[in-house]
Amino acid sequence: MSDINPFENALKQLDEAARIMHLDEGMHEVLRTPKRVLTVSIPVRMDDGRVKVFIGHRVQHNDARGPYKGGIRYHPQVTLDEVKALAMWMTWKCAIVDVPFGGGKGGIACDPKSMSEHELERLSRRYAYMISDIIGPYVDISAPDVYTGPREMAWIMDTYSALKGSISPGVITGKPLNIGGSKGRTEATGLGVAFCVREGAKKLNVDLKSARVVIQGFGNAGTYAAKFLKQMGASIIAVSDSKGGIFYDGKDGLDVEALIEHKTRTGMVRGFRNAREITNKELLELECDILVPAAYENQITKDNAENIKAKMVAEAANGPTTPEADEILFKKGKLVVPDILANAGGVTVSYFEWVQNLTRDYWSYEKVHDMLEGKMVTAFNDVYRTAEEYKVDMRKGSMVLAVNRVVDAIKARGIWP
Ligand code: GLU
């Protein structure tokens, strides 16, 4: 990760959209500022008996269109400004796929890889307790993000339910299936990315069957994006994770299923059969058709944007491209499918999960898959059309579309008192 401040980038994107759409000054000011920010210090008894204090945040950016919605991230580099940016991006994301949520985000600065399961459980439960007064199924609904998953969601749901005295599955999404999770939620972000890549390829006249794809990051989003893009006929020629990258340009690219098995067994993509090791810099600058950044913020910057060879950049991660890099990519004629569209499949199926929790009516995988496809294709076309209308790139198009939808809701509800 770099020291570029993600909240400043998020504000630049908003300011640019405000300029393009001649946004009313008051509305602009409302959207620049999160509605509520909570920082908590979380004492945890570690396995060796010592007490360690972790800093956590929950940021609620905007709830004009519905309850705050957004994941919780565990990472050593979590900062309040990062969580504020991620919360704002959630507001836009939910508006773009038109689900009735606002935007929020949580994060704890910790190194989950160096903690035991018991320590992580105590951390998650104590954090849930400390934010319990400001969350709820109709108020603020959390979900997984970097280094959190169904296990953490279950602990948080259980803690919240215990505190409130009734089982409350709708307080969090991304839960395990047996306690109210939705079929298809785990793979939703990657599948949504694949649908966007498919739609983008049509616009570029790129045949997915002969397309070469590079994926940075092999966590939840990257893994499933690789899997579904491969199923759609593309060749995945390079991937990386925090321990390094691999490149294999043979016929049909990497065997993704075997690679997932290799990563599960060894904890890294490196060392996969026949693949050559490459650096992160080499990976981003590889000759390919589609680049999928699926790791962290600020990976494509003014320092490397000139060297990106892919025709399309589909942002599975949140905030991987800085505003300066965006300008460079646009000038070079690249199609950037922005994060708030490309990775919105996750929150879309979170919405489906929440609906299932509230109605106690559970859907088939096919229904989730088809509903997600419908939402993603509609959102892609809405963004594409807005970008054409305003003669801007898809990032700006997506921002204008989202800000419009949120501002409409704020105006309809009115400023009270
Ligand atoms: N953390 C994911 C994101 O950034 C999912 C959020 C959700 O499902 O609420 O979109």
Task: Give the model confidence (pLDDT) of 331-373 as tens digits.
Answer: 999 999 999 999 999 999 999 999 999 999 999 999 999 999 9
pLDDT tens sequence across 64-119? 999 999 999 999 999 999 999 999 999 999 999 999 999 999 999 999 999 999 99
Exposure of 72 in the CB half-sphere (CA atoms within 13 A): 34
The reply to whether ligand 1 has any atom less than 6 angstroms from the CB of 343 is yes
Q: What span, in angstroms and rounded, lies between the C-alpha atoms of 157 and 167?
A: 8
pLDDT tens sequence across 196-255? 999 999 999 999 999 999 999 999 999 999 999 999 999 999 999 999 999 998 999 999
Nearest to 169 by CA among 185, 182, 183: 182
Lowest mean pLDDT among 1-5, 238-242, 345-349, 374-378: 1-5
Q: What span, in angstroms and rounded, lies between the C-alpha atoms of 212 and 207?
A: 10
**For residues 143-182, b (16+ Cβ closer than 10 Å) or e, as one string?**
bbbbbbebebbbbbbbbbbeeeeeebbbbbbbbeeeebbb
Pocket probe for ligand 1: among 90, 92, 140, the residue whose CB has the most ligand atoms within 8 Å is 90
The reply to whether ligand 1 has any atom less than 6 angstroms from the CB of 154 is no
Measure 252 CA to ligand 1 centroid, in angstroms. Answer: 31
Instruction: Indicate the pairing of strand 276-278 with strand 244-247.
Output: antiparallel
Q: CB under 8 Å to 165, separation ≥6 — which residues? A: none
pLDDT band at 3 (very low <50, low <70, confident <90, very high): confident
Ligand 1 atom 7: the closest Cα is on which residue? 347
- The CA distances from residue 218 to 132, 142, 243, 269, in Å, are 32, 23, 10, 8
Calculate mean pLDDT across residues 317-340: 97
3-state secondary structure of 258: helix
Q: What span, in angstroms and rounded, lies between the C-alpha atoms of 21 and 291?
A: 30
Q: CB under 8 Å to 355, separation ≥6 — which residues? A: none
| Active-site residue set | 105
Q: Which domains does the chain carry?
A: 6-13+34-170 (3.40.50.10860), 188-337 (3.40.50.720)
pTM of the model: 0.98
Nearest to 316 by CA among 186, 144, 193: 193
**For residues 112-133, b (16+ Cβ closer than 10 Å) or e, as one string?**
beebeeebbbbbbbbbbbbbbe
At 30, the amino acid letter reads V
pLDDT band at 23 (very low <50, low <70, confident <90, very high): very high
> Could you tell me how many helices (H) and strands (E) the chain has, helices first?
14, 13
Measure 69 CA to ligand 1 centroid, in angstroms. Answer: 8
Residues shown for the chain: 417
Neighbours of 46 (CB within 10 A): 14
Output the known binding site for substrate.
69, 93, 350
Which pLDDT does position 8 carry in this prediction?
A: 97
Ligand 1 atom 9: the closest Cα is on which residue? 70
Q: What span, in angstroms and rounded, lies between the C-alpha atoms of 92 and 101?
A: 10
